[in-house]
């Protein structure tokens, strides 16, 4: 999967099309990603230690990875991702601007 946690992506399909957000979680086996502020649903929660009152909370749900593209700040739009070798290391790069993808800090 070419998308990693911490990447900035733009949604290209679905109800949140055009939304830019950061990837919070990646599930390569299922081919899904959780993006900040995208695909928000209402979820009923029982009372627990974290939320003693329970109630209805907003929750971000996963969307298919095929519905997002890495967001290129230079081009100000979504871009495909390629791989190339720089200084003996495999590096991801935006195909539109030919710039290397900045790795997110962990």
pLDDT in single tens digits along all 106 residues of the chain:
899 999 999 999 999 999 999 999 999 999 999 999 999 999 999 999 988 998 999 999 999 999 999 999 888 899 999 999 989 999 999 998 888 998 766 5
Q: For the chain, which domains are there?
A: 8-79 (2.30.30.30)
- pTM beyond 0.85, yes or no: no
Strands 55-60 and 20-27, bridge-based pairing: unpaired
Cα dihedral: 44, 47, 51, 54 (round 10): 40
Say how far apart CA 9 and CA 1 lie, in whole Å: 14
């Amino acid at each position: 999967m070419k998308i990693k946690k911490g990447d900035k992506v733009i949604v290209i399909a679905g109800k949140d099309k055009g939304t830019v957000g950061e990837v919070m979680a990646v599930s390569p086996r299922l081919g899904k990603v959780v993006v900040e502020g995208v695909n928000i649903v209402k979820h009923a929660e029982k009372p627990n230690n974290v939320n003693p009152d329970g109630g209805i909370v907003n929750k971000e749900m996963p969307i298919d990875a095929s519905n997002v593209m890495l967001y290129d700040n230079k081009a100000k739009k979504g871009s495909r991702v390629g791989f190339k070798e720089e200084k003996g290391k495999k590096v991801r790069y935006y195909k539109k601007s030919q710039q290397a993808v900045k790795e997110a800090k962990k």
